[in-house]
């Protein structure tokens, strides 16, 4: 039983990159699927695949590395809001990650969005994580 599935999602990706794995498998949920799609859209992962199994399904993520330096595309994954201390932000209060080079993922009333999408739609919400 995992008490914080988003932290588990981020930790599995972080650990797989530190170990140099090309592929990581994560138990699926709708929130994790949308976060995976955002990671792909922003260019942090090569590709992903959603698979159904007898339980809740799996997300298979192909991690992205620089071919010359073998360094991972994702430099840091930081969980912001957690079950014990939720962090919410209004559209004007959403912080820029590494001066706009990184991405913040928010859970809003319009769905799971990046910081730029949330500001464009003028919605705030729970800040899930920062990725750079």
Q: Please give, one letter per residue, the 3-state secondary structure of 64-85.
A: CECCCCCCECCCCEEECCECCE
Torsion of CA 96, 100, 103, 108, to 10 degrees: 50
**What pLDDT sits at residue 130?**
97
Domain 5-63 matches domain 77-131 at the CATH topology level:
no
**What pLDDT sits at residue 54?**
84
**What is the CATH topology of the domain spanning 77-131?**
Dna Ligase; domain 1 (3.30.1490)
**What pLDDT sits at residue 124?**
96
DSSP string, 35-50: HHHHHHHTTSEEEEEE
**H-assigned helices in the chain:** 5-18, 30-41, 115-120
Q: What parts of the chain have a pLDDT lower than 70?
A: 1
- Which distant-in-sequence residues (6+ apart) come within 8 Å of 11 by Cβ? none
**What is the CATH topology of the domain spanning 5-63?**
Ribosomal Protein S8; Chain: A, domain 1 (3.30.1370)
**What pLDDT sits at residue 70?**
87
Tell me the domain boundaries of the chain. 5-63, 77-131
Angle at 83 between CA 82 and CA 88, to 5 degrees: 60
pLDDT tens profile 5-23: 999 999 999 999 999 999 9
* SS3 state at 102: coil
Give the predicted TM-score (pTM) of the model. 0.93
DSSP strand pairing (88-89 vs 125-131) = antiparallel
* SS3 state at 74: coil
């Amino acid at each position: 039983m995992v008490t914080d599935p988003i932290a588990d999602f981020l930790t599995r990706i972080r650990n797989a990159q530190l170990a140099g794995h090309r592929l990581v498998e994560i138990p699926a949920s709708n929130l994790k699927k949308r976060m995976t799609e955002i990671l792909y859209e922003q260019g942090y992962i090569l590709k992903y695949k959603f698979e159904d199994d007898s339980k809740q399904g799996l997300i298979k993520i192909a991690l992205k590395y620089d071919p010359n330096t073998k360094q991972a595309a994702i430099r840091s994954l930081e969980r912001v809001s957690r079950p014990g201390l939720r962090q919410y932000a209004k559209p004007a209060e959403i912080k820029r990650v590494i001066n706009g080079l990184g991405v913040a993922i928010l859970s809003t009333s319009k769905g799971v969005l990046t910081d730029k999408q949330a500001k464009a739609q003028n919605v705030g919400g729970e800040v899930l994580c920062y990725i750079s």
